[in-house]
Amino acid sequence: MSTTTLDSSLRHGAAADLDLGRMVEAERVHRRVFVDPDVFELEMDRIFGRSWIYVGHESQVPNAGDYFTTQVGRQPVVMTRHADGTIHVLENRCPHKGAIVCPERSGHTKRLVCMYHGWSFEADGSLAGVPVRSGYDNTCFDPTNRANGMKRLPRIENYRGFVFASLVADGPDLKTWAGEGMRGFDSVVDRAPEGRIEVIGDCFRTVQNSNWKIFIDNMSDGMHTSFVHYQTARAAKRTLEKFKIEHPGGLQVATLLAGAPDQMAKTDLVAHPNGHFDMAAFAPEPKGPDAEKYKAELIARHGEAGAQAILGQNFHNAMLFPTALMQPSLQQLRVIRPLAVDKTLLEIWVFRLKGAPDSFTSRAITAANIGNSPSNLVAADDFEAYYRVHAGLKGPESDWVRLSREANRDIAVGSSLKGSSGNSEVCMRNMYQAWRQYMTVR
């Protein structure tokens, strides 16, 4: 098929009739990957309906009876802590009429109770009580049957406190699927002197008027910072100079975004199987008495060599495709929840490193306020860029997104690919190749 015929077929064909594999090539991606509602619906089935999806952190349900609600793909779910200490992820719906059982974001209760007809459930989903149970005598309904409780998701795994779930029973286990993509999550936990982290409060929530993949695409794009964030970075630099802030935290990170493209070129980018990737940290480590005390605590726990190994590896972004983006250097996690083909919910969670000085927590909160809050300085630049990309791709005459920067220079590192510089588009190319694999496997 000629290029002209291919472009016409992709531009005008119905998504159900398309060979989705043709939408992704070695160095370009067709616009319909981002803007076609039918493609989005297939993504929700074939990616978010099958893959490992981030649910929450165990510290969000610290006590028996605690619960936290969210989504796995299209499915509302509730993460609970049972009386025996185990964590469960249940469909957030009553098996009677289908009503949402837990409408609140989070809470604590002895039993989960549906407000519609009063059915109650234990934290593991088992049916605890049905009002007027005698009405079910001599019927096919068996209140002792586990299938009549709140349904558990087919697969759930807790990796060092991070809870993931899948809507399908078959597939690789979490560790196999994540592979080297999990090293950013390992990094943030290893950096805690006590080997544990915890969520601080609730999250920032923003809705972007663009496709979810545009955000992920940007997370390995060091090239844009010199242009998109120039004014914000310059303002941050002037603020530090004027007020001589002792612990600049996120402001210091913001100043680094004003550098020329050759600055970001020094940053390592590594793409992993299944669409995962990471970008090395470029913000300097904390300094001062607290930092020295922190380092001493790591040495006491891991030894000199172990502490150096932990501190010697750090990441700015570590993406577990398709939902969880860890920022170990900033103690933050960004969670992607697609709402529609052109709307993406982004949740930003901040973590405390257990045993680390309070100044580390303050630094993380400052960075979140500056870079990720709804009234932030940095992400506002990005959101405008994402919106313009999506708006431009909606036009039927713009067929392809180009991903050729430093193509054919990728460096094999085991099963991963390292970019020849921090300006490479290797992670984007790898991500869309994984997208094609997810979308074409039936």
DSSP 152: B
**What's the whole-number average pLDDT of the chain?**
91
Does residue 272 register a pLDDT over 80? yes
Instruction: Identify the band that residue 369 occupies on the pLDDT scale cut at 50, 70 and 90.
Output: confident
Does residue 9 register a pLDDT over 70? no
Does residue 121 register a pLDDT over 70? yes
C-alpha to C-alpha distances, 7 to 23, 65, 397, nearest whole angstrom: 10, 55, 10
pLDDT of 86 reads: 98
Does residue 359 register a pLDDT over 80? yes
pLDDT of 10 reads: 60
pLDDT of 120 reads: 97
What is the Cα 226 distance to its own chain's centre? 24
Does residue 309 register a pLDDT over 60? yes
C-alpha to C-alpha distances, 433 to 10, 24, 205, 400, 430, nearest whole angstrom: 17, 7, 29, 15, 5
> Whole-prediction pTM value?
0.91
Average pLDDT over residues 420-438: 97
In 3D space, the residue among 393, 305, 415, 302 whose CA is nearest the CA of residue 355 turns out to be: 302
Does residue 13 register a pLDDT over 70? no
Structure token pair of residue 392: 């431009």
pLDDT of 381 reads: 86
User: 145 exposed, middle or buried (CB, 10 Å; 0-12, 13-18, 19+)?
Assistant: exposed
Least confident stretch, 40-49, 228-237, 367-376: 228-237
What is the Cα 122 distance to its own chain's centre? 29
Distance CA 442, CA 437 (A): 10
pLDDT of 252 reads: 67
pLDDT tens track for 24-52:
999 999 999 999 999 999 999 999 999 99
pLDDT of 180 reads: 97
Does residue 251 register a pLDDT over 90? no
Does residue 244 register a pLDDT over 90? no
pLDDT of 219 reads: 94
pLDDT of 231 reads: 72
Instruction: Identify the band that residue 254 occupies on the pLDDT scale cut at 50, 70 and 90.
Output: low
Burial 403-430 (b: 16+ CB within 10 A, else e): bebbeeebeeeeebbbbbbbbbbbbbbb
Could you tell me if 122 and 19 are in contact, meaning their C-beta atoms sit under 8 angstroms apart? no
Percent pLDDT > 70 in the chain is 92
pLDDT of 240 reads: 76
DSSP H or E stretch at residue 165:
strand 162-166
pLDDT tens track for 199-220:
999 999 999 999 999 999 999 9
Least confident stretch, 12-21, 61-70, 109-118, 133-142: 12-21
Residue 103, preceding peptide bond in cis (omega within 30° of 0): no
Angle 426-440/37-46 helices, nearest 10 degrees? 80
pLDDT tens track for 48-81:
999 999 999 999 999 999 999 999 999 999 999 9
